[in-house]
Amino acid sequence: MKDKSKKINLRRILINIPRINNLDQDPILIGGCGRTGTSLMSAILDAHPDIISYPAETNIFESDRKFRSPRLNSFRNKVRFYRFLIRQDIPKGCRRWCEKTPSNIDALDHIFKEFRNQVKIVLMIRDGRDVITSLHPLSKGYYISLKRWIIDTSLTLQYSSHENVLIVPYESLTVHFEATMKKILDFLGNSFDDKVKEYTKFSGVQSHDAFHGNKLTGISTGSVERWRQDRHKERVALLTESPEAMDVLERVEQYRKDFEQDD
């Protein structure tokens, strides 16, 4: 998604400079396989008074590290993040920024080095049968390949015990919304706020190409187990007939059970 944030103007710069300096809590980066709810997570967190989310992916960590020194790379990327931030309407009293790019999952080791572990990572996972049968709002066709889901999800699960990472099942978010958001905010070190429950009203991320109709909507379980529809039968068979994919799916299902048992 292209950055549709507002253009820089002098008034916004003068307001944002001190507010950017107040962003003193560890930043939040969101990643995971596409169609797992990364955009939704970004929008929900933006509703929290302490958090501002970028309205679009920055793709900053998709590019190669320019310097050998992690410190130089960290400085370079912070400057690039601030260039995005300066364009936003940063709420007064906001304490941290949040950015979502699905491919952040591919750069986590670099991210930890560049932020010196002063960063929180939220990774999304989802039943692969629903992921590979998800229709992209723009193309109207199947979007995520089975291979991509296997690779991205396997990589995500490798970080399940990392102290700076929380893996969130999409199904837990939609079926047990409030309990899941409380767990996420507890991990982030933020208190739960009722505005999060009304995120469609308070989030500044109201549109995104990943949203159907390009519009942020309330939580729905309608896309959970969508794969059971007859029209997806052949597509689902690609996964169920793959031993590798079924192994990953079993690990995802077990992780979800453990995640919800901890509530």
Residue 116 lies in a domain: yes
Residue 168: give the domain boundaries: 10-127+163-220
Please count the other Cβ atoms lying within 10 Å of the Cβ belonging to residue 6. Answer: 12
Q: What are residue 98's phi and psi, to 5 degrees?
A: -135, 135
Query: Does 74 have pLDDT greater than 50?
Result: yes
Q: 129 is written with which tokens?
A: 């049968």
Spatial strand order of the sheet with 51-53 comes to 51-53, 96-100, 28-32, 120-125, 165-169
pTM for this structure?
0.92
pLDDT tens sequence across 155-182: 999 999 999 999 999 999 999 999 999 9
pLDDT tens sequence across 15-57: 888 899 899 999 999 999 999 999 999 999 999 999 999 988 9
Residue 57 lies in a domain: yes
- Domain count along the chain: 1
Residue 119 lies in a domain: yes
CATH code assigned at 34: 3.40.50.300
